[in-house]
Amino acid sequence: MEQQALFAEMSLFNWNLYIKRTDDLLNTLTDEQLAGEISPGRNTGVYLTGHLFTYHDAMCDILELGERKYASLDNAFLKNPDKSGINFPSIATLREYWTETNNRLQKYFANMQTAEWFSKHKNISAEDFAKEPRRNKLSILINRTHHLSYHYGQLILLKSK
Amino acid sequence: MEQQALFAEMSLFNWNLYIKRTDDLLNTLTDEQLAGEISPGRNTGVYLTGHLFTYHDAMCDILELGERKYASLDNAFLKNPDKSGINFPSIATLREYWTETNNRLQKYFANMQTAEWFSKHKNISAEDFAKEPRRNKLSILINRTHHLSYHYGQLILLKSK
């Protein structure tokens, strides 16, 4: 259990690191910068912000933490690409949802027992999990941290040169 | 030890995943695409390729695996930004070094004992490591995987739209 706690701590350390980096970046970007594209013809910062918090919000479901709050935005930010014609909430609202999602997950994570991180997540059967114990709840957190660092590497291109 | 083996497996899974994704991407990009910038005025794919394999090559040192091969390129790809005026090897050479570094690390990792991943890395003192056992060799691998996914998110912008 001590080793499990260490590994959960290592994984949460990296999650918090990239959430903080992305949060700091979003706070330095103006609404105009966020509305811009990361590279000509590519995703906007607005889309990526929505994409990140809806994807993180969905962790509530897969990690069995509680009800999701922004499933109604999946269509805009998860199921469709940017510039699909679907209306987005205002940038101020997206910033608020980003922060609310981070804070909500942080509270859930603080209350999770170590053993829970090593239990199966919602989208894997007990049979498959017995064969592949690697596919635990912690693997979802780790996967989402890589997804976050991937998009953080793009959002940083919105900064002034 | 069984739990430690699981963590090492989870971390190596993600390292291999992003190495494979980046390798597949580099193999689909032409030399002309790789010479381009990820966004106007930003890093070129050539620089990022060099940056990644020299950073990975340096893991040989910090993880105490063996001699580095490309320390002579640190000046071009780690210590200075892109367009510093320092000459780069040819793109064909950079592609070769990228592949060689991946293969070399893969062999080292395959031979590492689980306990070794949880031992201290070269750049932390025994005293500090006793206080922060999170800062083990596995944390270096995890950190480098995030660094890789960050830049993979940028390199993918070189693909044709």
Q: pLDDT > 70: what percent of chain A?
A: 99
Q: Are A143 and A14 in contact (CB under 8 A)?
A: no
The mean pLDDT of chain A is: 96
- Is pLDDT above 80 for A154? yes
Q: Residue A23: phi, psi to the nearest 5?
A: -60, -45
Torsion sign over Cα B29, B96, B148, B84: negative
**pLDDT tens digits, residue range B109-144?**
999 999 999 999 999 999 999 999 999 999 999 999
pLDDT at A2 exceeding the cut of 90: no
How far is residue A142's CA from residue B146's CA, in Å, rounded to a whole number? Answer: 10
Q: What mean pLDDT is predicted for residues A28-54?
A: 98
pLDDT for the residue numbered A1: 61
What is residue A161's predicted lDDT score, i.e. its pLDDT?
Answer: 78
- Confidence check: pLDDT of A64 > 80: yes
Confidence of residue A102 (pLDDT cuts 50, 70, 90): very high
- Residue B87: CB partners within 8 Å, gap ≥ 6? B76
Percent above pLDDT 90 for chain A: 96
Looking at residue B16, what is its pLDDT? 98
The widest CA-to-CA distance across chain A, in whole angstroms, is: 51
Q: Which residues of B touch A143 (CB under 8 A)?
A: 14
Rounded Cα–Cα distance for residues B22 and B18 (Å): 6
Q: How distant is the Cα of B10 from the closest Cα of chain A, in angstroms?
A: 6
A14/B143 CB distance under 8 A: yes
Give me the interface pTM, i.e. the ipTM.
Answer: 0.95
What distance in Å separates the CA atoms of residue B20 and residue B16, rounded to the nearest whole number? Answer: 6
Q: pLDDT band at residue B90, thresholds of 50, 70 and 90?
A: very high
Chains A and B: how many Cβ contacts under 8 Å? Answer: 74
Q: Is the pLDDT of residue A3 over 90?
A: no
CB A87 within 8 A of CB A76: yes
Q: How confident is the model at residue B1 (pLDDT cuts 50, 70, 90)?
A: low
Percentage of chain B modeled with pLDDT above 70 = 99
Separation of alpha carbons B77 and B55, rounded Å: 8
Residue among B37, B139, B146, B155 with most chain A CBs within 10 A, to mutate: B146
Interface test mutation site (partner B, options A6, A19, A144, A161, max chain B beta carbons within 10 A) = A6
CA A145, chain centre distance (Å): 7
Each residue's pLDDT tens digit, B8-35 = 999 999 999 999 999 999 999 999 999 9
Phi first, then psi, for residue B136 (nearest 5°) are -100, 180
Is residue A61 a contact partner of residue A122, using CB atoms and an 8 Å limit? yes
Cα angle, residue A118 at apex, residues A104 and B5 outer, rounded to 5°:
135
- What are the start-end ranges of the H helices in chain A? 2-28, 31-35, 45-57, 59-62, 74-77, 91-111, 114-117, 126-131, 137-155
**Nearest C-alpha of chain B: how many angstroms from A121?**
15
- For residue B95, give the nearest of B155, B153, B27 by alpha carbon: B27
